[in-house]
Amino acid sequence: MKTKTKKKILPWLFIAPTFFFLGMFTYYPAFRSLFLSFMRMNMATPEPVFTGLDNFKRAFSTPLFWQVAGNNLFYAFVTVPITMALALALALLVNQKIFGSSFFKTTYFYPNVIPMAAASMIWLYIFLPGYGFLNYLLGKIGIPSIEWVSDSRFAMWALIIVAIWKNAGYYMVIFLGGLQQLPTEIYEVATIDGASAWRKFWKITWPLLSPTTFFAFIIAVINSFQAVDQIYLMTRGGPANTTNMFVYYIYQVAFKYWDFGYASALTVILLVLLLIFTMLAFFFMERRVFYESGERL
Amino acid sequence: MIVFAVILAFPLYWIVVTAFKEPTEVFSMIPKWLPEKWTLDNFKEVFNIIPFGRYYFNTILYAFGLLAVQLITVTLAAYAFARMDFRFKKILFMILLVQLMIAPQTLIVPNYMTISNMGLLDTKTAIALPYVASAIGVFLLRQGFAAIPRELEEAATIDGCGTFRFMISIAIPLLKPTYLAFTLISVTYHWNEFFWPLIVTDSVKARTLTVGLAMLAEASESAAAWTLLMAATLLVILPLIVFFAIFQKTFISSFMQSGMKG
């Protein structure tokens, strides 16, 4: 009897610390944001006052909100496909078991290990107008010096370049994981049948790898919607808000204007977007488990 | 292959050479591939201008202190999810995995309020608290614990081995590689963390290296400071690069296993 109750209670004791902190710093804050999003709470009104949907109405009628949303969408849907394509290309290159491939794997992966804060510093220096290295290279092919981070036409591209450089190696590793699970027999048969490398890629690798691709894509989109370090360090959302994105906008509203009510509404909007992407990912993971009938999740 | 490697590796090369250059060399219109005169002055200057030693200490204490706590919470939860039966297990695991999708910077507003209410602003504890529950850690170790055969546990039970003894003397030692993988992921992630520490810290006593680096960048707007900034950047990433060089295989395979960031 005693061991039976012990068996019942023990797992709950084991998961208690994790769920206590998970509740306190992930779920409670999410619901608190929801609660505060219906309140006015700012410098003039430090105690929250119920104002219904005012904060959301304000967001949807503010041009800056739509600019931020547009910027973030543009950033995500330019960065993610390019990163994926590059990562897949790198994974295919490294996956050939040729001499030195592990050295190249390391070289491609290292940007993922260093902090975004450090990466931002390095790239600010490379982007420097005048004596920056990138402009020197562009000068060699006759392109005049570009003010990468302070010209509204180029600032977003500067952030995109940094993100691709930083993350390509990470997704390469995800693709490598996928590639190494593909059955080798199919390739052998295809080679005997005289299929070209190009054909093998589109007819075998690409379709069989699609679960990994989709999964990586969702994760990358989710990460893109939470990008902030490089924005803070390189552009401060500028010039003229052309690189302002969700998290940075929330930060500005909350910690520059101390408008916690409106910032909470923005947090809720971002959480809803993330939730949609997450549900797509989960739905998909379930399916993957089902089809592969393996132990993996 | 080589072209990609050169492009991806160039920024690292560029910090290293710039960090050893004389400040005036930066102004050359034609970039210099190597410093004219190798100098350590930039590194000395970094330690003179900002309390870099203190930031190192803070970062190490935060990253490894947090890791120590995480190892306990993660081991317990992962073991329960892998080898015990309880109600709502599947749903609870899903609820936990949601954490992977929400980065702490997204919840800065409510979490800042929580930390502020607790009176913990500007402490290393404040930086660490949101990460005590680690979905990625539970996810990794759960797979490891689940792979230990039932027979081993049954044999141990017959020998009079209780749950705790089985965990400590058999299960955990079997999972050494998984623990190493989790350690690498956790330490790297927290060493690199920037936005949350920036928001909750306010003084030298709690700031981490990345935040210190940003402070230095803000303080030195003039272009002459680039050699200094690159020296500071190099100091921030050096331990990571060294670690990565030593454990490169483990690093890459642990990120492959995790399949997710966090």
CA distance B171 to chain A (A): 15
Residues of B in contact with A27 (CB under 8 A): 95
Q: What is the pLDDT of residue A287?
A: 61
Helix, strand, coil in percent for chain B, rounding step 5: 75, 0, 25
Q: In the predicted model, what is the mean pLDDT of residues B66-83?
A: 95
**Alpha-carbon distance values, A254 to A202, A247, B127, B166 (Å):** 48, 10, 19, 49
Is residue B28 over pLDDT 80?
no
Contact between A243 and A159 under an 8 Å Cβ cutoff? The reply is yes
Nearest-by-CA chain B residue for A249: B106
**Alpha-carbon span B258 to A177, nearest angstrom:** 10
Confidence of residue B161 (pLDDT cuts 50, 70, 90): confident
Q: Is residue B197 reached through a cis peptide bond, with omega within 30 degrees of 0 on the bond before it? A: no
The predicted structure's pLDDT at residue B224:
57
Distances (CA, A) of B35 to B16, B18, B21, B24, B39: 10, 7, 5, 11, 8
A positions 37-96 inside 8 Å of B (CB): 89-90, 93
Contacts of B195 in chain A (CB under 8 A): 228-229, 232, 247, 251
Question: From the CA of A212, how many Å to the nearest CA of chain B?
Answer: 10
Q: Return the pLDDT at A291.
A: 45
pLDDT tens digit sequence for A70-101: 999 999 999 999 999 999 999 998 888 777 78
Q: Do B252 and A173 touch (CB under 8 A)?
A: yes
Q: Is the pLDDT of residue A254 over 70?
A: yes
% residues pLDDT > 70 (chain B): 94
Provide the terminal-to-terminal Cα distance of chain B, rounded to the nearest Å. 29
Q: Where are the strands (E) in chain A, listed by range?
A: 39-40, 49-50
Complex ipTM tops 0.95? no
Helices B248-258 and A101-113, packing angle to 10 deg: 70
DSSP designation for A257:
S
Sorted by where each starts, the structural domains of chain A and their CATH numbers stand as 62-288 (1.10.3720.10)
Structure tokens at A166: 């930083």
Shortest CB distance from B80 goes to which of A14, A24, A30? Answer: A14
Question: Mean pLDDT for chain A?
Answer: 88
pLDDT band at A102 (very low <50, low <70, confident <90, very high): confident
pLDDT score at A288: 56
Residue B193, pLDDT above cutoff 70: yes
In this predicted structure, what is the pLDDT of residue A293?
34
More confident residue, B60 or A212: B60
User: Which value, in Å, is the radius of gyration of the alpha carbons in chain B?
Assistant: 22
Q: Among residues of chain A, what percentage have pLDDT more than 70?
A: 94
Residues of chain B neighbouring A22 (CB-CB closer than 8 A): 95-96, 99, 133, 135
Q: Is A282's Cβ below 8 Å from some Cβ in B?
A: yes
| Contact assessment for residue A163 and residue A230, using Cβ atoms and an 8 Å cutoff | yes
For residues B1-9, give the mean pLDDT: 81
Q: How far is A236 from chain B (nearest CA, A)?
A: 12
The DSSP-derived string for B112-128 is HHHHHHTT-TTSHHHHH
Q: Which letter, b or e, does each residue of A87-123 get, where b requires 16 or more Cβ atoms within 10 Å of its Cβ?
A: bbebbbbbbeeeeeeeebbbbbbbbbbbbbbbbbbbb
Nearest-CA distance from B69 to chain A in Å? Answer: 10
Contact (Cβ atoms closer than 8 angstroms) between residue A269 and residue A33: no
Q: What is the DSSP letter of A259?
A: -
Q: Which pair of tokens denotes residue A254?
A: 């909350």
| pLDDT band, very low/low/confident/very high, at A286 (cuts 50, 70, 90) | low
% of chain A with per-residue pLDDT over 90: 51
